[in-house]
A = this chain, B = another copy of it.
Amino acid sequence: MGRSYGGVAAEQRRAERREKLLRAALQLFTTTGFAQTKISQLCAEAGVSTRNFYEEFDSKEQVLLVLHDLINSLALQRVTDALAGLGDADAATRIATLLDAFVASVTSDPRLPRLNYVEAVGVNADLERQHLRWVVRWAEFIEAEARHAAAQGVAPDRSYRLTAIALVGAVTGLLREWQAHDPPLDVDEIAAEIRGLMFAAITRPA
């Protein structure tokens, strides 16, 4: 079981196959489309046998679930890091930093927003639950920043729950269109629009 083959441990070979499958899935799901992608295609693209597929995943849906979570987790990491290296800046700076880190993370590869905001929508109940968890998580992030701004006196003291959800939707919508438009929209302009919109949404009078 734990015996090493070709000088490589079994566990490591499994991990590499998993990695290759995820990479292939990101590629095929965002070009062929999730529904149209066959497991056999996935395995061919990854250079792995169908047998191996079932050793790592239960279904195509589970691969998508993992990818969706990875993309969000990576973005969260980037945002958290960016905010951490900021000390205690003013609210406007924190918000700009947060948004820029998010946009930079998700636009680093056009396939990421495509997968997250198009292919992973409405697939099944599990994915919808995961989507909802992430929306709530991002919204709470934004809410926290809004309250921070309110504490500094640059925003009114009110509930920011719906504003936060709306802003998550605005960002999602822009990034979805970004990867769909031809000619493509300009990333810097999108980032600027998001910053301006969020600042205006939070600082508007109650």
Contact = CB atoms under 8 A, between A and B. Distances in A.
Interface in A152-206: 162-163, 165-174, 176-177, 180-181, 185, 189-190, 193-194, 196-197, 199-201, 204
Contact of A174 (B123, B165, B190): B165
A176 B169 CA distance: 9
B163 A197 contact: yes
A121 interface: yes
Copies of the chain in the assembly: 2
Q: Interface on chain A toward B: helix, strand, loop, or mixed SS?
A: helix
Contact of A197 (B128, B172, B190, B201): B201
Contacts of A199: 204
A197 B204 CA distance: 8
A66 interface: no
B35 A124 contact: yes
Contact of A201 (B33, B125, B174, B200): B200
A87 to B, nearest CB: 27
B128 A180 contact: yes
26 contacts: A33-B122, A33-B124, A33-B125, A34-B122, A35-B35, A35-B122, A35-B124, A118-B128, A120-B122, A122-B122, A132-B181, A162-B189, A162-B190, A162-B193, A165-B177, A166-B173, A166-B174, A166-B193, A166-B197, A169-B171, A169-B176, A173-B173, A196-B204, A197-B201, A199-B204, A200-B201
